[in-house]
């Protein structure tokens, strides 16, 4: 599933090229997770002012309103001067005078939603609960510590919830907790300030590295069950159950937390 780094890498791949393009046509395919919310033809003639990201949403600012695009479980965007004929899994072609932005989404958990503004009811329904962005100045270690003190659930679950800080999905939560030496099952409220500071730094480092590597460390793979996902080639713990810890050689363990598999080193990561 695309996580924050992949969404940011996607944004960077076309934001400059689509900026100030004029919308010539919008063709929607099969229904996605939510409806567009406006007749597609209403967007024709508008300009794409720019592309921002909020959590795992891409925000295409238009001359009137904005398009919120979510990649869901299996979505990907491609911007090209010309696109081949749309296939059965291509569910949006945003045709502009600078190229065509295509959404390919086999599982159709993705979404393309128009909102009149970022403060509108529909946009707030999607974005309103999101925590701070980990990769800009708003991710403050003191505020992070204060927020964690109020949560008694396991730190991994608190990170995944995304309402304190966004973008720390399953892979990155496992990796950041390893880097910070924190057991994923530890109650968030029990973490000391120095440990929280280490976790804060680890989250920034893990996500910054993933974005910088531009997906090169993330290899699209299809598991034996035929499920698509991402595989972190250089992971310290993620996907490495039973293999020796790269730091201390203790076999990496896995456990189920809220139906997601968590990986950790029982020696390097203290409760
Ligand atoms: Zn270890």
pLDDT tens, the chain, 271 aa long = 788 888 998 899 899 999 999 999 999 999 999 999 999 999 999 999 999 999 999 999 999 999 999 999 888 899 999 999 999 999 999 999 999 999 999 999 999 999 999 999 999 999 999 999 999 888 999 999 999 999 999 999 999 999 999 989 898 999 999 999 999 999 999 999 999 999 999 999 999 888 887 654 444 433 333 334 444 557 899 989 999 999 999 999 999 998 899 999 999 999 9
Instruction: Identify the active-site residue in 2, 5, 134, 184.
Output: 2
Instruction: Identify the active-site residue in 53, 56, 102, 108.
Output: 56
Decide: 206 and 237 in contact? Cβ < 8 Å: no
Residue 217: the pLDDT is: 42
Residue 197: the pLDDT is: 98
Active site residue 106: no
- Which residues are found with C-beta within 5 Å of the ion, ligand 1? 245, 247-248, 250, 265, 267-268
Ligand 1 centroid – CA 243 distance (Å): 11
Instruction: Identify the active-site residue in 27, 33, 98, 260.
Output: 260
Ligand 1 centroid – CA 248 distance (Å): 4
Ligand 1 centroid – CA 149 distance (Å): 27
| Global model pTM greater than 0.85 | yes
Q: What angle do CA 96, 78, 220 make, to 5 degrees?
A: 170
Residue 235: the pLDDT is: 86
Residue 77: the pLDDT is: 92
Ligand 1 centroid – CA 208 distance (Å): 23
Active site residue 3: yes
Residue 216: the pLDDT is: 43
Active site residue 85: no
Active site residue 270: no
Ligand 1 centroid – CA 101 distance (Å): 44
Ligand 1 centroid – CA 46 distance (Å): 54
Ligand 1 centroid – CA 264 distance (Å): 8
């Amino acid at each position: 599933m695309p996580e924050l780094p992949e969404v940011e890498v996607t944004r960077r791949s076309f934001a400059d090229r689509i900026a100030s393009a004029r919308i010539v046509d919008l063709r929607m395919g099969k229904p996605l997770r939510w409806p567009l919310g406006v007749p597609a033809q209403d967007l024709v003639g508008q300009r794409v002012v720019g592309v921002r990201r909020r959590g795992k949403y891409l925000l295409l600012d238009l001359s009137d309103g904005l398009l919120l695009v979510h990649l869901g479980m299996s979505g990907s965007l491609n911007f090209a001067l010309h696109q081949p004929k749309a296939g059965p899994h291509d569910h949006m072609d945003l045709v502009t005078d600078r190229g065509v932005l295509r959404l390919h989404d086999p599982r159709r958990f993705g979404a393309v939603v128009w909102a009149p503004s970022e403060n509108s009811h529909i946009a707030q329904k999607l974005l309103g609960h999101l925590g701070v962005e980990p990769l800009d100045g708003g991710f403050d270690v003191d505020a992070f510590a204060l927020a964690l003190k109020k949560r008694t659930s396991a730190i991994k679950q608190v990170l995944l919830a995304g309402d304190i800080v966004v973008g720390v999905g399953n892979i990155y939560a496992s990796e950041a907790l390893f880097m910070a030496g924190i057991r994923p099952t530890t109650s968030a409220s029990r973490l000391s300030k120095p440990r929280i500071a280490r976790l804060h730094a680890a989250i920034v480092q893990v996500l910054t590295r993933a974005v910088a590597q531009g997906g090169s460390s993330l290899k699209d793979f299809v598991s034996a069950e035929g499920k698509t996902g991402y595989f972190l080639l250089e992971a310290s713990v993620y996907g490495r159950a039973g293999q020796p810890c790269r730091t201390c050689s203790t076999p990496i363990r896995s456990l189920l937390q809220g139906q997601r598999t968590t990986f950790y080193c029982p020696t390097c990561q203290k409760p």
